Amino acid sequence: MNRGAGMRLLMLAAAVGLFVFYAVAAYLSYLGLLFVWNQRPDPVTTAVLVVAVALAFGYASYEFGTARILRALDAREIAESEAPELYRRLDALADSFDVESPTLLVARMEAPNVLALGGPSDGRVVVDARLFRLLTAPELETILAHELTHLENRDGLVQTLGYSLVRTVSGFLLLLLLPVTLLVAGTARAVGYARGDSYRRIQAATTRARLAVTSLAVLLLFAFTLALRAYSRRREYAADDRAVAVTGRPRALAEALRKIERASTPTGPLASLYIHGDEEGTLTRLLATHPPMDERLARLDAKADDRAVTVPVR
């Protein structure tokens, strides 16, 4: 037997071995899922337990994420003696919202911005130091009112819990598809070895086969992600509207956003938290956490024009 024929036989043996290995793994995972299914508790109890666990992990992730953001920003609390007028304005705003006056912190961010972290009773508002000279007092007040709306509605927590539920549902779906995924991926790998394909082609074929099976879970995750991002954009509009209703200054809020937009070029891992909305492309806009800035400004300018209209004297 020549060397080429020997290598070919070796590849075929490897292909058969791989197929058997993946087939056994798929069968064992099927038996495992079947065992769990036969031992299952009441479906309602199971659903409640899964949701509770997902929410618990989501809440823990939110708390850990908040602490991580504060550490990453190296935020420092602003004493009331340092900015008594700012605290006076903030306390007055808090009285118009269903929130306790939040803790004010200052940081140096990647772009001028304000972040609201926490909820109605434990809120923290982080202000980039540059905003104190970039914005006028009325403009900063409207931005703070916008952030207080997020605290009032617990927007950050709601979104984090939503993402946790989506990941949990997607994970269960991937687990249910595990036997089929193993069998299909093993078959693709075995066929590649049998044909004598290169390692790169085998890996690519295996990946395509696996994605073909798990595409349902991927599509589900993507659809829920789009829904959560749409919710996030609606909350930004709602926060703008609430800030205008409380302060009565749509023009000041619009001007504050314009100044922040001009000064902002967000990059890095915290960029999605920034007030920014110049994303291009349909998919990018659908995945954006904030609405396009021009749309927000147009809405605020329209509100300002409406307020400027006076009833003619008869």
Residue the block writes with tokens 């798990």 = 214
Long-range contacts at 13-22 (CB < 8 A, ≥ 24 apart): 14/193, 15/190, 15/191, 15/192, 15/193, 15/194, 16/190, 18/186, 18/189, 18/190, 18/193, 19/186, 19/187, 19/190, 21/186, 22/182, 22/183, 22/185, 22/186, 22/187, 22/189, 22/190
Q: With beta carbons less than 8 A apart as the criterion, state whether 291 and 240 touch.
A: no
Q: Residue 77: helix, strand or coil by DSSP?
A: strand
85/219 Cα distance (integer angstroms): 50
252/10 Cα distance (integer angstroms): 75
Q: Residue 244: phi, psi to the nearest 5?
A: -65, -40
Paired tokens of 166: 């989506």
- For 64, 73, 200, the CA distances from 69, given in Å and listed in that order, are 9, 6, 39
Q: Under 8 Å CB-to-CB from 70, ≥6 apart: which residues?
A: 105, 117, 124, 126
Paired tokens of 269: 């891992």
User: What one-character DSSP code corresponds to residue 272?
Assistant: G
DSSP code string of 87-132: HHHHHHHHHHTTSPPPEEEEE--SSS-EEEES-SSS-EEEEETTHH
Active-site annotation holder among 139, 141, 147, 152: 147
Quick one: which of 141, 136, 164, 142 has its CA closest to 62?
A: 164
Question: Residue 147 catalytic?
Answer: yes
- Catalytic annotation, residues: 147
